[in-house]
Chain A
């Protein structure tokens, strides 16, 4: 049945798009998306330079990580969606196994951790892999099934999502587990989950919130409480929120100027070059800078959704759409946190915050999207 579908799709595309393949297509890249991503990364480096206290070392480090990430994106884009689909279950199960390993090591008294390490060789964060592996696994399961998914399929999906998310939550890493869950839920949503089920789930989630509360670690609860009333502890956990809002608000329309943000440069702003880099942007570049970045993000999302919708197979479509929407969730949660409408959750501002791992994951995601878009002609030989 699978082969049949591929053939049908290939034929359809051959009929519709008989044009000569462009250079970009042969490179399996989308020029518009690439341009938008490069603009974002370039602008991000400018902000990072200021946010790191004019540290050329940090900025160049980030630039070289971007290089690695772009390379990873390019490599992934060369694989066809069907190949990716075949490898998905293997990646997923390896990821789950590694999460178990992290958990066991934690239980063995090595303390809570997120890393798997082969000393001197490799340091790896399995939860980062799961950001892609979980939605892909859900898509890989669903695309063979008749859609919209029925109840049995849904339950299996919940299992596919639930197991790794539970492990990641226990690490504890609320931010990542939320992103993983979101990515997978987007797949199901795009697959056409009926509104009745969505309504039902909404009710379920609402009633599960107290359960979530009791499963949270103390520091996570504290963050939520502080978010609800930051002034209750202005020098402790409320500090981040207050200083971040102050930075953004004092930036005004035009900002204080590059490298001139007093909140950021005088270190009132915590984690200014990682999670709270958005506040540096808001303070130094003002509302205008913020809106420019928001526009870039929205354009990337728009282009991404367009690319996904042109995909020839369901797997690619679902994965592509989910990757793009998850990307926006990063943006929304991070800017929401920086501007004080969402609690402090460790989610970076994508492709702007300092950090190699998340950049690689994000660009690999976009690589998959480009693969989905460019692998069109699968003519039988």
Chain B
């Protein structure tokens, strides 16, 4: 190549060079344009489907449509859990550029105080599925809604969402039956069907709300919407409507429930009433109750602490988890066990000198009446609640036969169909003691078990269930709270029902019933004061459960201590005897003797259920007010 030797410009050569170079450049241009074309072909033809999907994902947002929660009615059709419209503040973090600045703005607009701000921020950090609105604050008032609406343009990703919120018209009396719904927490979120719960903020936490969560919740729907890059919805493309949750009808009778709660009159205690033929739980009260509505909106820490530290344990569901010694209410069952096991006949007379001594023993196990009832047969033993008689038969039976028979009536296990958190309680036995306490069973323990003291742990629900089974002459029906779920009736026979209690002689039922009837109506009956003016036949049994120890280590003042060491009053009953309509268990904590403090409550409830006219109810209430002092356990 000739190089720059010639200082004279060679124009012709320059033109040649230019031509060659521009042809080269033109070829390069074509090549590069071809490259672009190939790239476009790759994107728009080869990978077209991938990008179409991606573009659709951009454009189309699937929004869950939460179903409305089913309503809950009592057996008379009265609404006990309803839905009310409320307005919630939600945030979609993916649509917010600067989350802190946005939260600051919202806090400013709503005028929140420090503790509110704290929960507010905590909620904004809670894990959420991408592009799902996270709840910041529920139950906005109208002023807040208006202020947010005005400032909406400054708050992308922040929305005010109208929502149905659970409301309980009678929170205190129904709190333990219904339970409550609350905000879904992170653990629940992990185990939930995320599709069905995508738009749902609340879930049943306890009680019926939890038990029938699936039916009450319903099936979520969805809508596909077109959105722009800032998440604003432009139009709806497709909609699958949600299936609302099923309405629930309870077996509970609100009138009876209310009455039972009022009868307890501020005392700690529990009343359970069951319809024996159907297993319908007519009333199930644990007092004191609490305001379950507070849990729906999110209870404040202070309120929650107050409930937790309350000595009366309002959050504790005594009806299904309260453990009480069965006391003398064991006696009808024990009588049946003795008859069935042939250790006693209905007519056998046992002499009561006021105490019982084990053969070879010296210790005197006392009757509650120091001087004794003298000659006692089965019927009288039940009517006067004679301890010596039952020490005798218990010793003859032995603890294992007694416990085995008690199991047939559902003690020591959960027999209810749909009661959340029901406890199985405890039926003492040789095996149990060896296993749990690693101790041998002492014969003396059989005696105290025979009058329902000692290791027994029974719940009011178990007691009422056993009473209903007794009233049914051994026919088992599982107790239950739901009467109808949607269109489906919940009625016996139920799966996994315990086998019926069979006796060799059917007449033994009548023998025990007549003893129980004498409790109320007999001249010596421990609860004869409630038998006045009774318009139907009632079988009952009083009981007193000794309080062995305080469950907790709180400091009480002297009066308080005294009060809380008093015995629990128990009473079980069913009526009418020939056609039982209601079986009742009443436990009033630290009230003293069962006949005087619990029996009247059972009578009042039975009157309410069996007789509808007001006069009778009145009479029963008077009886309670008199507080007639009668001897007995």
Contacts and interface: CB of A to CB of B under 8 A. Distances in A.
Interface residues of A, number: 54
Interface string A1-30: 000010011000000000000000000000
Interface stretch (A59-67, A165-173, A245-253): A245-253
A267 B43 contact: no
A145 B9 CA distance: 7
Interface string B23-50: 0011001101100110111011101101
Interface in A169-202: 186, 189-192, 194
B32 A339 contact: no
Contact of B43 (A186, A194, A301, A339): A339
A55 interface: no
B51 A245 contact: yes
A365 to B, nearest CB: 16
Contact of B40 (A314, A328, A339): A339
A133 B389 CA distance: 123
Point out which of B29, B32, B39, B56 has the most chain A C-beta atoms below 10 A from its C-beta. Answer: B29
Contact of A314 (B11, B58, B229, B234): B11
Interface stretch (B14-22, B468-476, B585-593): B14-22
B183 interface: no
A332 B28 CA distance: 11
Point out which of B30, B40, B58, B229 has the most chain A C-beta atoms below 10 A from its C-beta. Answer: B40
B25 A305 contact: yes
B52 interface: yes
Given A190-B18, A190-B25, A294-B33, A146 B8 contact: yes
B6 interface: yes
A197 to B, nearest CB: 11
A287 interface: yes
A379 B10 CA distance: 21
Interface in A281-301: 282, 286-287, 290-291, 294, 297-298, 301
B25 A268 contact: no
B7 A245 contact: no
A328 B32 contact: yes
A186 B40 CA distance: 27
A246 B226 contact: no
A321 B22 contact: yes
B55 A262 contact: yes
B22 A190 contact: yes
B47 A249 contact: yes
A262 B59 contact: yes
Contacts of B44: 248-249, 251-253, 282, 286-287, 290
Contacts of B54: 246, 249-250
A206 B32 CA distance: 20
B230 interface: yes
Interface in B213-265: 226-230, 234
B4 interface: yes
A249 B39 contact: no
A313 B146 CA distance: 75
Interface in A211-257: 243, 245-253
B1 interface: yes
Contact of B14 (A250, A282, A314, A336): A314
A328 B30 CA distance: 10
Contacts of A291: 37, 40
Contact of B25 (A194, A321, A341): A321
Contacts of B9: 5, 145-147
Interface size bracket, B side: 35 or more
B32 to A, nearest CB: 5
Interface in B373-410: none
A309 B43 contact: no
B22 A309 contact: yes
Contacts of A336: 36, 39
Nearest to B20: A192
A309 B18 contact: yes
A298 B33 contact: yes
Contact of B26 (A301, A314, A335): A301
A369 B527 CA distance: 120
B226 A192 contact: no
A287 B41 contact: yes
A192 B17 contact: yes
A57 B621 CA distance: 86
B133 to A, nearest CB: 18
A282 B44 CA distance: 8
Contacts of B47: 249
Contacts of B48: 249-250, 252-253
B30 to A, nearest CB: 7
Contact of A266 (B32, B43, B58): B58
B25 A325 contact: yes
Contact of A341 (B22, B30, B39, B51): B39
Nearest to B58: A268
Contacts of A252: 44-45, 48, 52
A266 B229 contact: yes
A146 B13 CA distance: 10
Contacts of B50: 249
Contacts of B59: 262-263, 266, 268
A148 interface: yes
A268 B14 CA distance: 51
A308 B32 CA distance: 21
A286 B36 CA distance: 14
B36 A332 contact: yes
Nearest to B24: A189
Contact of A268 (B26, B29, B33, B229): B229
Contacts of A298: 29-30, 33
A146 B17 contact: no
Contact of B21 (A192, A251, A297): A192
A250 B55 contact: yes
A302 interface: yes
A114 interface: no
A291 B227 CA distance: 30
Contacts of B52: 249-250, 252
B410 to A, nearest CB: 60
Nearest to B230: A267
Given A267-B229, A297-B33, A192 B14 contact: yes
B203 to A, nearest CB: 31
Interface string B42-77: 011101101110111011000000000000000000
Contacts of B32: 328, 332
A22 B230 CA distance: 57
Contacts of B15: 317
A113 interface: no
A339 B39 contact: yes
B7 A146 contact: yes
A320 B417 CA distance: 93
A109 to B, nearest CB: 27
A39 interface: no
A246 B234 CA distance: 20
A305 B26 contact: yes
Contact of B4 (A5, A148, A248, A286): A148
Given A266-B58, A328-B29, A305 B22 contact: yes
19 contacts: A147-B9, A147-B13, A190-B21, A191-B14, A192-B21, A248-B44, A249-B52, A252-B45, A262-B56, A262-B59, A266-B226, A266-B234, A268-B59, A287-B41, A291-B37, A301-B26, A309-B19, A314-B14, A339-B43
Given A146-B8, A192-B17, A328-B29, 15 more contacts: A192-B14, A243-B58, A246-B55, A248-B43, A249-B47, A252-B45, A253-B48, A262-B55, A262-B226, A301-B26, A314-B14, A321-B18, A332-B36, A335-B36, A339-B39
The 9 residue pairs across chains A and B that have the minimum distance between CB atoms:
A249-B51, A250-B55, A192-B17, A266-B228, A267-B229, A249-B43, A287-B44, A250-B51, A150-B4
Interface of A: 5, 8-9, 145-148, 150, 186, 189-192, 194, 243, 245-253, 262-263, 266-268, 282, 286-287, 290-291, 294, 297-298, 301-302, 305, 308-309, 314, 317-318, 321, 325, 328, 332, 335-336, 339-341
